Amino acid sequence: MIRLEKVYKSFDGKAALDGLEFQVDKGEIFGFLGPSGSGKTTTIKMLTGQLKPDRGHVEVFGQDVSNVTRPDLLQRIGIMTDNSNLYPRLTVLDNLNLYRSLYRVPIRRVKEVLEIVNLEGVEKKKTATLSKGMKQRVLLARALLHEPDLLFLDEPTAALDPINKERIHEGLRQLKANGTTIFLTTHDMQEAETLCDRVALLNGGRIVEEGAPVSLCQRFSDPIITIELKGGQVVTFENARESAKAIHDYMVNDQIVSIHTDEPTLGQVFIQVTGRNLA
Amino acid sequence: MITSIQRIYAIFTKDFKDLTKNLYVSTTFLLPLFYAFMLGRGSGMDSAYFLPLMVNMTFATVGTYIQSAIIAEEKENGTLRGLMLSPATTLEILTGKSVLSVLCSVVVFVVSLEFFDGPMTIPSAAWIGFIIMTIFYITLGTLVGLLSKSLMESSIFILPVIFILGMGTMFRDLMDEYAWFKVVEWMPNYQFEQLFQASDTSTIVAAIGWMIGWTALVVVVTLWLYQKRSFDE
Ligand SMILES: Nc1ncnc2c1ncn2[C@@H]1O[C@H](COP(=O)(O)OP(=O)(O)OP(=O)(O)O)[C@@H](O)[C@H]1O
Ligand SMILES: [Mg+2]
């Protein structure tokens, strides 16, 4: 679906993308994670034909990205970036109706997408009067109107409460089940862990780690086994053959309260990999 | 083709609804009507002066301004990006907006005729001129919209357009006093008036030539600027 090869882009002599390479397969939810300023939005702009790479190859739908501005390809793409906007003086319905006509989508879709983003009943409201989270959900609804094959979402749940977040995750899983490929950026590691099939950690304009969230976490798990004993004592062992005998003894003597390995969260993996905090 | 017309219509409808809710821009309708009221009623003005003056006035203040304002505001609000990322082409987007600007200008112009009570004669060359001037003013509006970063900016950039093209010929008496004021003669609005006032063919052909020249220039500059800048810097 998406393929980047050695992509470079700099602004005013400062590199924003520095040899970026990755691939997104059809039907997966791909999480693009990285600290602020790491180049996430720049990458989405590049993938949607809004920016040209200085060097390198960018491919969408198996075609060079310069083709992406063709109406037939734009018809298959849905986009919601952190700088998209609604017409403030118009109602939610007028806003959606414009895009419904541009994408030639039947009227019933408006109701369907508003349901997906949990916004039934706001059709007649002027968008200027909506809260930030509501605007964000209308924008998401707009991106979903034409049931795109490929969906770009730049921090789609940034301004949302946990309930609406969960509702939208549910909607995105549903889209994935129907075959939509989703490329999303997020600062929310929880979101990435529960929603994404695969994530890439971006730092300094290139991918530093890539894989399924679980396997990434396992790869970075501490090789230490921690055992809590009756009486409150805590002992630790290397996760290695030599530890087997001692652990076995605790076990047969019925001394163990709990036993676990320390698997980091995706957020901790990120900090470990980049030496930076997500902000 | 049908798809294209539907998209143009969708953009037109959206811009129309938006304009009716935008008092700041839509009140410019009143300016040409005010002038028509002042100049038309009982002044005994000849229609050969009134008509071209009102065309220039209306298209400069309503057509050019609305066109520039709705483009500039989309840039300012970041809504143009969404349109550009939809299957609508730039030509469809600009056409939808142009249809609205032309329609508003024509409606205001027709209403302004209500204030004129003398006999009206329209030479056939004037119709050709009218079409050329419509293209000229709307393309100029597109150009001003592309140059402006915000609605406010377009409202400022439009002022010289209104003074020079919309009202310039009202001060034609100055031409006899100050030689430099003769530059007005090179302007397309002045040449358009010639189509109503001149009777010799050579003047009329020259006037149409000037107007086509100006229009071609504005079209070329607009296209060049459009290619140079991406729409949503
Ligand atoms: N149009 C531009 N002109 C100059 N510099 C830019 C431009 N766009 C992006 N940059 C720079 O490129 C780098 C990457 O920016 P980008 O917006 O892609 O980051 P991001 O990962 O999306 O950050 P965030 O999480 O804050 O949205 C930043 O250093 C930014 O300042
Ligand atoms: Mg960003």
* Distance of residue A194 Cα from the nearest chain B Cα, in angstroms: 29
More confident residue, B41 or B6: B6
Q: Residue B209: which of B195, B223, B219, B224 has the closest Cα?
A: B195
Averaged over A24-48, what is the pLDDT?
92
For an interface test with B, which of A69, A95, A101, A145 has the most B Cβ atoms less than 10 Å from its Cβ? Answer: A101
CA angle B195–B200–B204, rounded 5-degree value: 35
CA angle A32–A34–A39, rounded 5-degree value: 85
For chain A, how many residues are written?
Answer: 279
CA of A122 to the centre of ligand 1 (A): 33
pLDDT at B136: 97
> Is A225 in a helix, a strand, or coil?
strand
What is the band of B233 on the pLDDT scale with cuts at 50, 70, 90? very low
Q: Does B77 touch chain A (CB under 8 A)?
A: yes
Question: Cβ contacts (< 8 Å) between A81 and chain B: which residues?
Answer: 81
Q: Is 80 exceeded by the pLDDT of residue B44?
A: no
Integer-rounded Cα Rg, in Å, for chain B is 18
Q: Is 60 exceeded by the pLDDT of residue A278?
A: no
Q: Does B4 touch chain A (CB under 8 A)?
A: no
- Assess whether the C-beta atom of A10 lies below 6 angstroms from ligand 1: no
CA of A43 to the centre of ligand 2 (A): 9
Domains, chain A, ordered by start: 2-217 (3.40.50.300), 222-262 (no CATH)
CA pair distance A113, A124, nearest whole angstrom:
15
Q: What was the ipTM of the complex prediction?
A: 0.87
What is the band of A71 on the pLDDT scale with cuts at 50, 70, 90? confident
- Assess whether the C-beta atom of A182 lies below 6 angstroms from ligand 1: no
Q: Are A201 and A209 in contact (CB under 8 A)?
A: yes
Most confident of A118-122, B14-18, B78-82: B14-18
Q: Is B2 left (phi over 0), alpha (psi -120 to 50) or beta?
A: alpha
CA of A6 to the centre of ligand 2 (A): 21
- Cα–Cα distances in angstroms (integers) from residue B170 to residues A181, B45, B53, B173, in the given order: 62, 13, 8, 8
Output the pTM of the full model.
0.85
Which of A154-163, B37-46, B62-71 has the least mean pLDDT? B37-46
Provide the number of structural domains found in chain B.
1
Point out which residues pair with A4 in neighbouring strands. A22, A58
Q: Which domain holds residue B76?
A: 2-232
Burial bucket for residue B1 (CB in 10 Å: 0-12, 13-18, 19+): exposed
pLDDT at A35: 86
What is the band of B229 on the pLDDT scale with cuts at 50, 70, 90? low
Averaged over B158-176, what is the pLDDT?
80
What is the band of B65 on the pLDDT scale with cuts at 50, 70, 90? very high
pLDDT at B230: 56
pLDDT at B32: 92
Output the six-digit token pair for B217.
């220039």
pLDDT one-digit tens code per residue, A160-196 = 898 889 988 998 999 999 999 999 998 888 889 899 9
pLDDT one-digit tens code per residue, B83-135 = 999 999 988 999 999 999 999 999 999 999 999 888 888 888 899 999 999 99
Q: Are B184 and B168 in contact (CB under 8 A)?
A: yes
Percent composition of chain A: helix, strand, coil (DSSP 3-state, to 5): 35, 30, 35
- Assess whether the C-beta atom of A186 lies below 6 angstroms from ligand 1: no
